[in-house]
Copies of this chain bind each other. A is one copy, B any other.
């Protein structure tokens, strides 16, 4: 049995975060695919509180919650590139933005997915735009003119936190026929998204739009995906 196992599902951005962190550190792991709509014995045993993916199992000990897992990976495999900054103030700042992204990004993408009618759709997409505008400013400052990542010249904690939503963002753009990330309003973020998706640690992790749209038929109202 592999010493590192990941209980997950390919379409989950939270699982993708862990996959990217493991790739950045060049760690071999076994991927244990959960079936949509059911929960394995191992998942229920490993995360009895929330019963949610992802769960990382390292030497038979379970670690839950995607951002906590990413931090655990960074602290456990120190020989690879650092994911969190070494300076404690920079680390606190990265954690602040990752928490902000968790609070704003996925909830608004979900709200967009579940929106009934134009008003709800427009509210959720406006809240996403507010987030992008703010993160564009942060990115420009952090990456010295937009040449790199939130983590500087390489993918870091905030990049992982945000970047994993790009797959669903593109899927929602296609589904709804709207542009959710806009090169006119947030040009650096658009370039950052391209750089992020082209990185060796990310390629092949975040599913393509078609795969996510197929997957989304499980839970998005039929009127949208028919």
- A: residues with CB less than 8 A from B are 49, 58, 61, 63-65, 68-69, 71-72, 75-76, 88-89, 91-93, 95-96, 99-100, 134
Contact = CB atoms under 8 A, between A and B. Distances in A.
B68 A99 contact: yes
A68 B91 CA distance: 9
A73 to B, nearest CB: 9
18 contacts: A49-B100, A49-B134, A58-B89, A63-B89, A63-B93, A63-B96, A64-B96, A65-B95, A65-B96, A65-B99, A68-B92, A68-B95, A68-B99, A69-B92, A71-B92, A72-B88, A72-B91, A76-B89
Contact of A71 (B61, B69, B76, B95): B95
A10 B64 CA distance: 33
Contacts of A93: 63
A100 B48 CA distance: 13
A69 B91 CA distance: 11
